[in-house]
């Protein structure tokens, strides 16, 4: 620790420390949450007395609906509690949600879903605020890259644990469920504890900005006024033609998140053609989705200069083609009623684990491509109204995800895939038409 007037390298070391702590914390928290969201539908279907334990699709729908609504009030929570405390409180909601599966009862499940939806809105808004306050613009790309590299590992670690826990098990017993969620609760709890180690206010403000910074703290109601202004400006943006053209892509991204994060793994676990490996495929599929996400992000980073010459067309076409291919393979490889329960219904081709994992990879790759492009388009089109535009984007995505989880309770797989293909096609056309 540097005493007195700290030299610049001390601040750099402290900032790097914060980046690593944040990355590790979110990695452990989302290792637990991503794995839980992928397995919870199957776990609840396999448990006894399911009428008392709730439905996984409903739970996930509540999470995303709450996330979308609380997205508007999260800045107020951060203003009142501060970024670090807000992230810690939000992390605790993730822990409570995951612990509810140790002894699942419908009211604790749905209450936990509501809490984690609120926590998700707060933790991501607080993360953005913490990064913006702690790092200067020159260090932001490097620090963001380090954070996301650590964060993306969450898709690999938790699903690897899930794979070995379920391997060779046709039925998920109470003991097996407790073993899985005890481990995930421990990972989440460790991630929350890491947040306590964050160092606050490590970036020294320029001397010329000290007076402004002091006034900002004293006249803090301005921050609340900014929240209100953002909310009103978001409604005004609804009249903007470019924003209206983006409504369908927003909805599409929300629905494809639903499919790969909850529906697809459930279909694999319910496919009786896979035998004893069916339940373990949830974890294996999640790992391949993670690899697709990482490779997709890396591809965009490496080939990013192409956008200077060809706009975003090559990436959009690549994402569209990969998603259509994934949907077609899933259509051929899985029983149509596998989203609602265990099934040995005939498929167009013999159900293949290799084909299923190729689909998983393509789903992760597609999500990385389209999410990145949506954020890039919104960020460049609405520079003056970035906060309001991103709030609208997140609201529509979460709304679509919530609706999608709810209709997945009864809608057969082929119709879910048709909805995705139609929205994917319309989104690609709209992306190409935007300038």
- Check residue 113 and give its pLDDT: 93
Other Cβ atoms less than 10 A from the Cβ of 124: the count is 17
Domains and CATH numbers, the chain: 13-201 (1.20.1250.20), 219-434 (1.20.1250.20)
Cα angle: 355, vertex 274, 185; to 5 degrees: 95
Tell me the DSSP string of 107-150. Answer: HHHHHHHHHHHHHHHHHHHHHHHHHHHHS-TTTHHHHHHHHHHH
- Check residue 218 and give its pLDDT: 37
Q: How far is CA 157 from the centre of its chain?
A: 16
What's the sign of the alpha-carbon dihedral 57, 60, 66, 69? Answer: negative
CB 161 within 8 A of CB 290: no
**3 state SS for 11-78:** HHHHHHHHHHHHHHHHHHHHHHHHHHHHHHHHHHHHCCCHHHHCCHHHHHHHHHHHHHHHCCCHHHHH
Q: How many residues does the chain have?
A: 435
- Check residue 359 and give its pLDDT: 95
Q: Which DSSP state fits 259?
A: I
- Check residue 332 and give its pLDDT: 94
Cα angle: 172, vertex 178, 183; to 5 degrees: 115
What's the sign of the alpha-carbon dihedral 412, 414, 417, 423? Answer: negative
Give the contacts of 237 (CB within 8 A, at least 6 positions apart). Answer: 243, 382, 385, 388, 389, 392
pLDDT, block means (10 residues), the chain with 435 residues: 50 74 92 90 69 73 91 82 90 95 86 94 84 62 70 85 83 85 94 90 45 39 58 78 87 90 89 87 90 81 56 79 94 91 89 93 89 76 74 87 90 94 91 73
- Check residue 132 and give its pLDDT: 67
CB 158 within 8 A of CB 265: no
Structure tokens at 219: 């006249």
- Check residue 370 and give its pLDDT: 84
Q: To the nearest 10°, report the CA torsion of 169, 170, 172, 173.
A: -80
- Check residue 47 and give its pLDDT: 66
Q: Helical H runs in 303-412?
A: 307-310, 313-333, 353-381, 386-407
Give the contacts of 382 (CB within 8 A, at least 6 positions apart). Answer: 237, 242, 243, 388, 389
What's the sign of the alpha-carbon dihedral 185, 190, 196, 199? Answer: negative
> For the whole model, what pTM was predicted?
0.81
- Check residue 99 and give its pLDDT: 93
Of the candidates 390, 395, 388, which has an alpha carbon nearest to the alpha carbon of residue 226? 388
């Amino acid at each position: 620790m540097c005493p007195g007037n700290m030299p610049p390298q001390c601040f750099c070391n402290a900032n790097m420390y914060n980046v690593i702590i944040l990355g590790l914390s979110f990695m452990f928290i989302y290792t637990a949450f991503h794995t839980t969201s992928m397995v919870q539908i199957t776990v609840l279907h396999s448990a006894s007395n399911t009428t008392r334990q709730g439905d996984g699709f409903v739970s996930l729908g509540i999470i995303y609906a709450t996330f979308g609504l609380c997205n508007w009030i999260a800045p107020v929570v951060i203003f009142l509690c501060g970024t670090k405390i807000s992230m810690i409180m939000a992390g605790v909601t993730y822990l409570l949600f995951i612990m509810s599966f140790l002894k699942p009862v419908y009211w604790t499940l749905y209450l936990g879903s509501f809490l984690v939806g609120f926590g998700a809105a707060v933790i991501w808004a607080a993360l953005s605020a913490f990064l913006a306050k702690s790092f200067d613009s020159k260090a932001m790309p490097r620090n963001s890259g380090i954070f996301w590299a650590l964060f993306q590992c969450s898709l690999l670690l938790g699903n690897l644990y899930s794979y070995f826990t379920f391997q060779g098990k046709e039925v998920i017993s109470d003991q097996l469920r407790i073993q899985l969620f005890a481990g995930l609760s421990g990972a989440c709890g460790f991630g929350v504890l890491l947040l306590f180690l964050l160092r606050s206010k490590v970036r020294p403000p320029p001397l010329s900005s000290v007076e402004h910074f002091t006034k900002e703290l004293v006249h803090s109601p301005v921050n609340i006024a900014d929240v209100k202004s953002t909310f009103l400006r978001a409604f005004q943006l609804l009249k903007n033609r470019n924003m209206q053209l983006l409504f369908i892509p927003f909805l599409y991204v929300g629905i494809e998140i639903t499919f790969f994060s909850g529906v697809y793994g459930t279909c694999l676990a319910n496919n009786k053609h896979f035998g004893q490996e069916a339940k373990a495929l949830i974890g294996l599929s999640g790992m391949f989705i993670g690899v697709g996400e990482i490779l997709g992000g890396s591809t965009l980073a490496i080939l990013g200069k192409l956008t200077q010459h060809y706009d975003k067309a090559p990436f959009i076409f690549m994402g569209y083609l990969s998603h259509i291919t994934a949907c077609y393979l899933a259509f051929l490889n899985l029983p149509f009623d596998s989203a609602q329960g265990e099934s040995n219904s005939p498929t167009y081709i013999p159900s293949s684990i290799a084909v299923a994992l190729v689909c998983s990879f393509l789903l992760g790759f597609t999500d990385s491509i389209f999410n990145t492009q949506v954020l890039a388009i919104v960020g460049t089109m609405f520079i003056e109204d970035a906060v309001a535009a991103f709030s609208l984007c997140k609201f529509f995505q979460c709304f679509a995800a919530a609706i999608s989880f709810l209709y997945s309770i009864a809608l057969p797989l082929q119709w879910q895939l048709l909805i995705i293909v139609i929205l994917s096609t319309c989104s690609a056309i709209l992306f190409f038409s935007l300038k």
